[in-house]
Structure 1
Amino acid sequence: MNRTARLYALVEELRAAPRPRTVSALAARFEVSERTVQRDLQALMAAGSPVRSTAGRGGGWSIDPAMTLPPIRFTAEEAEALSAALAAAEASGPYASAVRTASLKIAASMTGPQLVGRIVALPSRTDAAVRAAVERALTGNLVLRLSYVDASGRESDRVVEPAGLLTAEGRWYLIAWCRTRQAGRGFRLDRITAAAPTTERARPHDLADLLRGSAAIATERTQ
């Protein structure tokens, strides 16, 4: 069994185990040394897999099954299509770090000639700090303060309640309830010059309602 196959098998072994597994038990299961198992576990942690170690009697290594997906089998063409889509997302959209690790996992799962390693994405035009702030606000359901430049070059400060993201015609928009305008608005991510989540929880908003009310694609012409 090669290392890539063993890593996948190791995740499934931990997922299926009713209690934490020791390194020695895992080494015996996969017929490798304990040092190899330790290296594999560290590699899984570095890749973002939710494996964890519990010390003490009855302890060992385990994985949170709610934080992982079961194995999905892709054809080479499907994997290449996903890699191309992820490269486009990485170039222009949020969650860039998660996109990069997902791309690496797809590449690591493939063998033989492949297109994956020959797909290149240009750097995003959206500031990394702005993307990170938007991601934190969406994930934590937090009110977001931002500075925005409209199509006419006018800059304004806004307090918004994020509802979701929209991609259209190669651009990404933050869809939110704007407290300043008291209406739904779409903010192009590459026109947000600064952003910072607050500690205040945002009210729930229906994304479809905000889209209908804000005409997000046309927002750059109307704000």
Structure 2
Amino acid sequence: MNRTDRLYALVEELRAAAPRLLTVAALATRFEVSTRTVQRDLQTLMQTGVPVRSIPGRGGGWSIDPEMTLPPIHLTADEASALTAALAAADASTPYAGAARTAAQKIVASMAGPASAAAQELAARIVTLPTHGDSAIRTAVEHALANNMVLRLSYTDAAGHESNRVVEPAGLLTADGRWYLIAWCRTRRAGRGFRLDRIAAAAPTGEQAQPHNLTELLRGSAAAGAVQPTALASLTPPR
């Protein structure tokens, strides 16, 4: 068993035993390696963000939080290639690009065989010109939307007019390669779309936003016919 396969198998061994603790000696016997190798592998898992933890002392050992880890994922070569292409499309200006990248890296790291080879081969054949976006603004928008927080924006519209707005985020809209924050604008007392690359500054206010229906805010606008991307439909619970 190579090291990548062993790291994946270690996670599954700890998941299967949880919440019971497993000792390094037991894991070394299970995988027919030295205790030093197991210790090194467990430290590697910790450094990559896998929620493994050690309980020292007599009766101690290693465990994992099964609710914080994924069950086994078996991807086909086509699915692995699709994941690679989607990751390449999520450049620095795409909302949640950083989290998408680390999540995809964890999934790819767990793959082996044809799926892993397909992902690596395709990754070597995709290049992109870097875009220049303000990561602080993107992070502020991501946090506000995920946590339903009010934002204070400095915004420049299509005509070049600058304004300051206080908004309550409702969702994100993508169209023609651009991303828009859809929000209730307290200044205009109406739903508005703010193109992310036209936001000059974004600051959280610490205030909880009122919930707003995204479809209602889009009604009557040029984006009234917007629909949820097919790839996300299965993630949304039925209403």
Mapped partners of 1:80, 1:163: distance in 2: 32
Does residue 37 of structure 2 align to residue 41 of structure 1? Answer: no
Among candidates 164, 168, 181, match of residue 161 of structure 1: 168
Q: Is the 8 A contact 2:93 2:138 kept in 1?
A: no
Matched, 1:126 2:133: yes
* Deviation, structure 1 residue 9: 1.5
1:111 aligned residue: 117
Alpha-carbon separation, structure 1, partners of 2:108 and 2:192: 38
Identify the residue that residue 85 of structure 1 maps to in structure 2. 86
Segments of structure 1 that go 5 or more residues without pairing to the other structure are 218-223
Corresponding residue number in structure 2 for 1:101 = 102
- Distance (Å, rounded) in 2 between the aligned partners of 1:119 and 1:105: 19
**Residue of structure 2 equivalent to 1:11:** 11
Q: CA RMSD in A?
A: 2.4
- Change in CA separation of 1:29 and 1:124 when aligned onto 2, cut-off 3 Å: farther
Mapped contact 1:54–1:61 kept (Cα < 8 A): yes
CA separation in 1, counterparts of 2:221 and 2:55? 50
Give matches, 1:48-67, under 5 Å.
Answer: 48-55=49-56, 58-67=59-68
SS in 1 for 2:22: coil
| AA aligned opposite 1:12 | E
Letter in 2 for 1:7: L
Higher mean C-alpha displacement, 174-183 vs 91-100: 91-100
| Matched residue, 1:220 | none
Encode CA deviations 1:176-211: one digit per residue, 9 max, x unaligned: 222122112221111111112222112222222223
Q: Which amino acid aligns with 1:99?
A: A
Change beyond 3 A, Cα 1:194–1:38: farther
Q: SS at 1:43's partner residue? A: helix
What secondary structure sits across from 2:144 in the alignment? helix
In structure 2, give the amino acid aligned to 1:80. Answer: S
Deviation at 1:138, TM superposition (A): 2.0
The equivalent position to 1:143 in structure 2, one of 144, 150, 154, is 150
Q: Distance in 2 between matches of 1:59 and 1:201?
A: 43
Q: Distance in 2 between matches of 1:215 and 1:45?
A: 48
Q: Which moved more, 1:104-113 or 1:43-52?
A: 104-113
1:177 to 184, 190, 205: 184
C-alpha separation in 1, matches of 2:57 and 2:6: 26
| Contact 2:94/2:179, CA 8 A, preserved across alignment | yes
In percent, how many aligned pairs have the same letter? 73
SS at match of 2:219: helix
Whether the 8 Å contact between 1:53 and 1:61 is mirrored in structure 2 is: yes
Unaligned runs of 5+ in 2: 225-239
Report the TM-score, using the length of structure 1 for normalisation. Answer: 0.84
